[in-house]
Structure 1
Amino acid sequence: MIKVSVLYPKAEDSTFDIAYYRDTHMALVRERLGGACKRTAIESGLAGGTPGEAPTYIAMGHLYFDSPSDFEAAFGPHAKEILGDIPNFTNVQPTVQVSEVIE
């Protein structure tokens, strides 16, 4: 299994509408990716590693797939639409990481 993590770095001028992300954007993502996407998870950054420190990421979204090729096949046809929705909830340019899930 793989996890595609979309990481939204926290900066002084970052904005992020977590309700829109949860209710609208991730619903769009799940609908477009269909059954290839096994599950999703959302994290909202609270703090960094030391007391009073800001979080490294304002938010993170995680998408789970059986394989990288399953992700590519599902995401490719909808990439423009999904990526085009980003300005509706944040002014942050996300970073993406694909990881193998080891259990």
Structure 2
Amino acid sequence: MEFRFFLSVILLTASLSAFSQQKKSEPATDKGLIKVSVMYPFSEGKTFNVDYYETKHMPMVAGILGSNLVKYTIEKGVASGIPNQPLPFMAVGTFYIKSLSEYQSAITPKRDEIRADFANYTNVIPVILVSEVVR
């Protein structure tokens, strides 16, 4: 009985070790994608409705982007990276896309519709950064 238990522990440990090594050696799957970060700066008196953003706005934009969109993320700011400093951003929405030109072609005709929806969740003008994922 003890031998079976010991063997089970060894097999489980080997399986976990192999899984851990596989995770470390896997290449970054986002490498080469274009990342569009929509950042909402914090300042006193500014508001941001995360629930609306998550359930309405981001799915609407994701639908506009179609198959060019790989994934999107939503982040809610909680603190500054420097103690006792104000929060730099209330929220950040990020789209990972395959093609910048396809993104621009999809967004351009819908720009006014997207901007009109801002009033439903924030009174902040976002800062947008378009970058390429290196790692």
Using structure 2 for the length normalisation, give the TM-score: 0.72
What pairs with 1:27-42 in structure 2 (closer than 5 Å)? 27-42=59-74
Secondary structure of 1:85's aligned partner: helix
Cα offsets for 1:35-93 (capped at 9, x unmatched)? 11111101100000133433200000001111211211121121111111001100001
Whether the 8 Å CA contact 1:46–1:54 is kept in 2: the answer is no
Which structure features the higher share of strand residues?
A: 1
Q: Does residue 5 in structure 1 map to residue 37 in structure 2?
A: yes
Uncovered stretches (5+) of structure 1, i.e. residues with no partner: none
Which residue does 2:126 correspond to in 1?
Answer: 94
Q: Secondary structure at the match of 1:38?
A: strand
Q: How many residues matched?
A: 103
User: Of the two, which has the highest radius of gyration?
Assistant: 2
* Equivalent residues of 2:68, 2:99 under 8 A apart: no
Structure 2's unaligned 5+ residue stretches are 1-32
Aligned residue runs from structure 1 range 74-93, under 5 A? 74-93=106-125
Task: State how far apart, in whole Å, the 1-side matches of 2:117 and 2:64 are.
Answer: 13
Higher relative contact order (CA 8 A, sep 6+): 1
Q: Which residue of 1 aligns with 2:99?
A: 67
How big is the shift at 1:31? 1.3
Q: Structure 1-normalised TM-score?
A: 0.93
Query: Aligned Cα RMSD in Å?
Result: 1.1
Q: Per-residue CA shift, 1:19-40, capped at 9, x if unaligned? A: 0000010111111221111111
52-61 or 11-20: bigger deviation = 52-61
Segments ≥4 residues shifted beyond 4 Å: none
Contact 2:70 2:97 in 1 (8 A): yes
- SS of corresponding position for 1:51: coil
